[in-house]
């Protein structure tokens, strides 16, 4: 499985319009594209930072989708009234769902950098050490890990039932993150929290 994420610097006042465009226009057409298996949108209403992610059955199908997805990305950026800051493509290394996300779900994303030779070790650490710790916490819903093996970049995401449970998990998540960086030698690039504005995912369990 593979994924493409597009970061858009939206106007906060335009976020509801962007979600409506995604639901009514993009979702009406995406199922026609061969290999598509999911779409999500994370939003930060305070800063306007939004990340739209599409998931694909294979790298080849993801690449073949680029022209059509670019058209929809441009439309989403217009609806959000902001520029596309970056587009990244990933291998989906881990996808684990403990519970359905729910209407009030929030997510925390951690971007990391490791030596490319350490990617497999980082994936195993995420599966064997991080997931069991997250599953102990109230409100945990799901977790994923995307990687770029060529560069050693990665982003791990956890989904929580509500803002309250996201907040209450923060201290424990900080400890888990510190442990993981010691084990893997990863460098934390960024940590950010979002509201899960939209999610329609058919990506299978991958642990």
pLDDT at 159 exceeding the cut of 70: yes
Q: Find the mean pLDDT for residues 33-44.
A: 94
User: How far is Cα 143 from Cα 165, in angstroms, rounded to an integer?
Assistant: 15
Tokens 């770029």 -> residue: 148
E strands in the chain: 2-9, 36-43, 49-56, 84-97, 106-113, 140-148, 153-160, 187-201
Q: Mention the CATH class of domain 2-201.
A: alpha beta
Least Cα distance to 75 among 17, 13, 3 occurs for 17
pLDDT at 205 exceeding the cut of 60: no
pLDDT of residue 128: 92
Where do the domains of the chain lie?
2-201
Burial degree of 88 (CB within 10 A; 0-12, 13-18, 19+): middle
Residue-wise pLDDT tens digits, 5-19 = 999 999 999 999 999
User: How far is Cα 54 from Cα 200, in angstroms, rounded to an integer?
Assistant: 10
- Where is average pLDDT lowest: 3-7, 67-71, 101-105? 101-105
User: How far is Cα 63 from Cα 69, in angstroms, rounded to an integer?
Assistant: 10
Residue-wise pLDDT tens digits, 23-36 = 999 998 888 899 99
Residue 206 pairs in a beta bridge with 95
pTM of the model: 0.92
Residue-wise pLDDT tens digits, 188-198 = 999 999 999 98
Q: Measure the CA dihedral 130/103/76/29, to 10°.
A: 100
pLDDT of residue 183: 87
pLDDT of residue 206: 62
Least Cα distance to 114 among 135, 93, 132 occurs for 93
Burial degree of 183 (CB within 10 A; 0-12, 13-18, 19+): middle
pLDDT of residue 34: 93
Q: Find the mean pLDDT for residues 167-177.
A: 92
pLDDT of residue 139: 92
Average pLDDT score over the chain: 92
């Amino acid at each position: 499985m593979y994924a493409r994420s597009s970061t858009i610097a939206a106007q906060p006042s335009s976020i509801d319009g962007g979600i409506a465009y995604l639901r009514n226009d993009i979702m009406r057409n995406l199922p026609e594209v061969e290999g598509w298996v999911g779409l999500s949108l994370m939003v930060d209403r305070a800063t306007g930072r939004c990340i739209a992610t599409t998931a694909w059955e294979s790298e080849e199908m993801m690449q073949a989708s680029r022209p059509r997805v670019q058209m929809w990305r441009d439309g989403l950026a217009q609806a959000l009234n902001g520029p596309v800051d970056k587009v990244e493509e990933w291998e989906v290394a881990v996808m684990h769902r403990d519970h359905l996300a729910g209407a009030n779900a929030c997510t925390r994303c951690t971007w990391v950098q490791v030596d490319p030779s350490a990617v497999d070790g980082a994936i195993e650490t995420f599966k064997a050490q991080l997931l069991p710790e997250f599953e102990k916490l109230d409100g945990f819903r799901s977790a994923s890990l995307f990687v770029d093996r060529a560069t050693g970049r990665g982003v791990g995401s956890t989904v929580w039932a509500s803002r309250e449970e996201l907040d209450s998990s923060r201290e424990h998540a900080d400890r888990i993150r510190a442990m993981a960086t010691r084990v893997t030698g990863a460098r934390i690039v960024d940590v950010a929290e979002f509201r899960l504005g939209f999610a329609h995912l058919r990506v299978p369990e991958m642990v």
